Each structure stands twice: as C-alpha cells, then as structure tokens.
Amino acid sequence: MKNIVAWLGLGLMLASFVWWQILSTPRPVNSTSSRHTAAPAPFTVVVLDPGHGGQDSGAMCGAILEKDLTLDVAQRVDRLLQSQGLATVMTRVGDSYVSLQDRAAVTNRARDCILVSIHFNESKKTASGVETYYAEHQAAPAPRLVSWIPFFNGPAAESPTLASQSLARFIQEAMIARTKAPDRGTKAEQLFVLANVSTPAVLVEAGFLNKDEIAKLDNNDYRDQMAAAISEGILRYRDVLKERQLTLAVTGSGD
C-alpha cells in the first residue's frame, strides 16, 4: 500500500510539472526582432577552479605540489580579472578539499558565468607543453521544479559546446603566445567539472610536473605569464561576444 501511495504521489508531482510547463511556455510574439537569433550574452562572472586541494595534492615533483601551483595561478588570474572589472568566484580560496560535485555546483549556482579550471599534468616521462580541454557534451540545466528528483537527468547537448570550444581556443592561443611552451592544442574530453555544468567551461593543463618543466613552473615570473595569458584569453572571448551582439543589433535595426 505504501508503494502505491508513493507512486501516486510521484505521478501527481510529474503531472503538475507538465501542467506548469504548458502554462509557462511563452507564446509566439509577432515582432520584427523575433526573427533574429540572439547572440550569447557576455558573461559577468568568471568561476576560477584551482584543481585539487587539501588531502588531494594532485601531481607532484619533489616538494612541488600541483594543488599549490593551481591555487597560486588562480589567485593571480583572480587579481587580473578583478582589475578589469570582472567579478570572480573561486571554488576554493585555501588549501582545502572540494569535491568535483561541489565545484560543478558552485558554477551552476552562479549566473551569467564561465568556468576556468586550472591544472598541471603529471608525467614521469619526457613531456612538456600546454593543452586546454572542453567538454564535447555538457549537461543541460534541469528544470528547477524537478532538479531535486534523484533519477532526473537533463539531456546532454546534441552537438559539441561551441562556446566552450571557442573559450578553450582563445586561452590556448594566449598561453602559447605568452609562455612559448609547446602547443598541445585544444581537446574534447568529458571531464566531470566540464561535462556537468551548463555554462562555457574549460580546463587548462598549464604544464607538466616533471624534471623537464619543473624549474620554469616553480618560477614566479613564469606563473605571472601563465596568469596573464589565461586572463587575456578570457577577455578576448568576452570581446568577441560583445562584437557579435553589436553586429546582430546593427543588422536587426536595418530591417
């Protein structure tokens, strides 16, 4: 009997949600502007995600730990972006452990944001260079009324997230120009913090913690250049979004 009541309750909730969706679906508007496709709005917040932390040290080379480098670079990027008038959110501000789920949740709670996660590669073999990742498919945001239902999952995007791919390219290009590191390119990978957010998101692997690269990664000036490059890539992406909006606005006003 209890099972029947539980299923009836769940069915009632789902029926209510469907009815709410029908009522809240906007009706077509007969206006000239409705014929134009809107460009993505420029973001107002940058979520910076220093990889690892706390008991999760990440990669290491001697006494140099990935968790310390990621926080250091993220803090430098944070200062640079704020000096340019961009609001920022850090997924961690000290040497604390933050789960992947919580990192994604911080991003999904923010409005009009992008996510930049900062990491360093690990390789005991000879390897060097910078690479930037984006998710080929990102989770769509679940409707607020049912997002708490455990088995409800939003559909994945049908095509690669072009916004994330563009952001990755701008940051990668700036990193190579600034650091002169080998260019390992941009790559699609279903990393948790990228695939489980609904905003443009990238993960930068800013170098390798091995004997070939550790000296420069441990250099204060080199980390300044990495931070400057990440900031430049973010700002360039924002400028492109603004240019697209302006172009569409001018085109639309001519009809």
Q: What local confidence, expressed as pLDDT, does residue 71 receive? A: 98
- Does residue 89 contact residue 110 with C-beta atoms inside 8 Å? yes
- CA atoms of 234 and 224, how far apart (whole Å): 16
CA 61 to chain CA mean position, Å: 27
Reported confidence tier of residue 2, pLDDT bands at 50, 70, 90: low
**How far apart are the C-alpha atoms of 200 and 234, rounded to whole Å?**
11
The tokens 């099972």 sit on which residue? 3
Instruction: Using a cut of 0.85, tell me whether the model's pTM lies above it.
Output: no
Structural domain boundaries of the chain?
45-142+152-249
pLDDT at 11 over 70: no
With tokens 């604390």, the residue in question is 96
Calculate the CA 220 to chain-centre distance.
26
| pLDDT tens per residue, range 121-177 | 998 788 999 999 999 998 765 444 333 333 333 444 333 478 999 999 999 999 999
Percent of the chain with pLDDT over 70: 73
CATH assignment, 45-142+152-249: 3.40.630.40
Q: Cα–chain-centroid distance for residue 231?
A: 14
Q: Where are the beta strands (DSSP E) in the chain?
A: 45-50, 60-61, 64-65, 87-90, 113-121, 130-134, 183-188, 201-208
| 8 Å CB contact between 244 and 163 | no
Q: Which amino acid is at 83?
A: S
Single-letter amino acid, residue 59: A
